[in-house]
Chain A
């Protein structure tokens, strides 16, 4: 099946720094990718929809200036957590696919100290 990669898999950073997470569709083109966040023992919550060549669409309550999304090509979307704080520590996971299947990346565990 289709594969979505995500990098890095794990990152620990100091409060106030920025962290970039990459999401790549390896064997298919994705005009749309989705970014989700999952806190411990909770479900996945959609943060934003990344659209190739246009601005991302953010869900209510997600700060677009804090979570910068760039979808510069049909196989790459990046999520940058700017000025990260401990409350941003979470599991970030992206997905891409078609109407019948959404393939997820392996996720990125972010820990902000």
Chain B
């Protein structure tokens, strides 16, 4: 079973509008972390936002916010006021803190976001 599921292979959004990228996860660990990364065509992985499983509030970083719904095991990324430079691949990832994990990240398949002018 996939641990991280991103159901949207590709998304389009109009410049200046908000967009939500979906991510669901599967873990039995009580402690875990959820991450979102942006990967432009250059290949670098740019850290966007982090949410800990025990965090009470949704994480926010500038135009990025993470809609964390623990009971539903979802961690959607919301990008507000989209910019042309937001066009890239976006990966959701999880770090499990138990079960023999060494702290590595498990990645979803990614969503390709295209921002239209």
A interface with B by C-beta (< 8 Å): 1, 32, 34, 38, 42-46, 49, 57, 91, 93, 95, 99-104, 106-107, 109
Contacts and interface: CB of A to CB of B under 8 A. Distances in A.
A100 B105 contact: no
Contact of A93 (B43, B103, B109): B43
Interface of B: 33, 35, 37, 42-45, 47, 50, 52, 91, 95, 97, 102-110
A99 B98 CA distance: 12
Nearest to A47: B104
Residue of A93, A99, A101, A102 with highest tally of chain B CB at under 10 A: A102
Contacts of A57: 102
B43 A99 contact: no
Contact of A99 (B47, B103, B109): B103
Contact of B43 (A49, A102, A109): A109
Question: Helix, strand, loop or mixed for chain A's interface?
Answer: strand
11 contacts: A32-B102, A43-B91, A43-B107, A44-B91, A49-B104, A99-B95, A100-B33, A100-B52, A102-B95, A104-B44, A107-B44
A103 B103 contact: no
A6 B69 CA distance: 36
Given A44-B107, A93-B45, 6 more contacts: A32-B103, A34-B104, A43-B107, A43-B109, A44-B45, A99-B103
B44 A106 contact: yes
A93 B81 CA distance: 30
